[in-house]
Amino acid sequence: MIRAFGVSDAGKVRKSNEDKFVSDPSYGLFAVADGMGGHKAGEVAAQLAIDAMTGFITRSDKDYDVTWPYGIDDTLSFDGNRLRTAIFLANRKVFRAAESSDDYGGMGTTIVSVLITGPQAAIASVGDSRVYLLSGGSIEQLTADDSWAATILAQDPAMKPEDIAQHPMRNVLTNVLGGRPTVDVDVTERVLVGGEVLLLCSDGIHGVLDRDVLQEVLRNTPDEERAAQAIVDMALDRGSRDNVTALVVRYEPGA
């Protein structure tokens, strides 16, 4: 059984909420998108991405004859390819919308998503929204940020995180949905163990709450709704100036 709950808040600074999420245990689909762009274009981009992804995942559920418009990655499972294709389709949807209207020009969105069937989980990401896993009381980040800061750290491990934290380009993204006709998608797969907890969140959360804080909340709050709300409230209390979204997913086999 999968139990999940998501909380999203515009925050204390932004007038609108450009974060969107989907939580659908019946299809095992969970995703968070953080849109960007003026005149509510970011809100549109995030919703288009969520809708396009959800549409393909629901259409392809257990349909092994589904059409694969972007081919198949032989290194991935059926569900891994479903998630990969869903994100490619989401990118196309956002890109075409941005190209078709001056109001939407330059809009884009991040996305992180998890597709769970039985104990198998496929995880995909574009941008700097994140997926964390709490397992055995310890937390780890399952996704890599597509950001200038992450790129610099990968190229120069000697660079100090505190120096990057002050750099004016620290929040520049290197990969988003809708920025170009094609997108780089990172898809990984793993087997879940009973009691493990996934956290999907936007940068409004992880920008102010580090792993230790998230680990403590998830470890000490077994209720998904309370955990998600606590994470959002804590991010706002600690001065997050962005939209904030936390989606907590707990896996329990055979329940």
What are the residues whose beta carbons fall under 8 Å from the beta carbon of 150, sequence distance 6 or more? Answer: 128, 144
Give pLDDT, residue 168: 66
From first CA to last CA, the distance across the chain in angstroms is: 5
Asked if pLDDT for residue 143 goes beyond 60, the answer is: yes
Total domains in the fold of the chain: 1
Fill in the DSSP letter of residue 104.
G
106: exposed, middle or buried (Cβ count in 10 Å: 0-12, 13-18, 19+): middle
CA distance 19 to 13: 14
Residues spanned by the domain of 168: 2-251
Question: Comparing 244 with 172, which gets the higher pLDDT?
Answer: 244
- Given a cut of 60, is residue 173 above it in pLDDT? yes
Q: What is the pTM of this model?
A: 0.94
Please determine, for residue 166, whether its predicted confidence score (pLDDT) is greater than 70.
Answer: no
CATH of the domain at 124: 3.60.40.10
**pLDDT confidence band for 252 (50 / 70 / 90):** very high
- Say what percent of the chain tops pLDDT 70: 93
pLDDT of residue 198 exceeding 80, the answer is yes
What tens digit of pLDDT does each residue of 103-129 get? 898 899 999 999 999 999 999 999 999
Confidence at 40, pLDDT banded by 50, 70, 90: confident
The sign one gets for the Cα dihedral 203, 91, 44, 78 is negative
Least confident span in 71-75, 165-169, 228-232: 165-169
Mean pLDDT over each residue of the chain, to the nearest integer: 93
pLDDT, one tens digit per residue, over 203-227 is 999 999 999 999 999 999 999 999 9
Residue 167's pLDDT is: 64
Helices of type H across 60-193: 78-100, 148-155, 161-165
Per-residue pLDDT, 122: 99
Give the pLDDT of residue 60: 96
pLDDT above 70 (res 162): no
pLDDT for 147 equals 81
Residue 48, CA atoms < 13 Å, CB-side half-sphere: 26
In this model, does residue 247 exceed pLDDT 60? yes
42-90 pLDDT tens trace: 999 999 999 999 999 999 998 888 899 999 999 999 999 999 999 999 9
Q: How far apart are CA 227 and CA 224, in angstroms?
A: 5
Distance CA 217, CA 224 (A): 11
pLDDT band at 171 (very low <50, low <70, confident <90, very high): confident
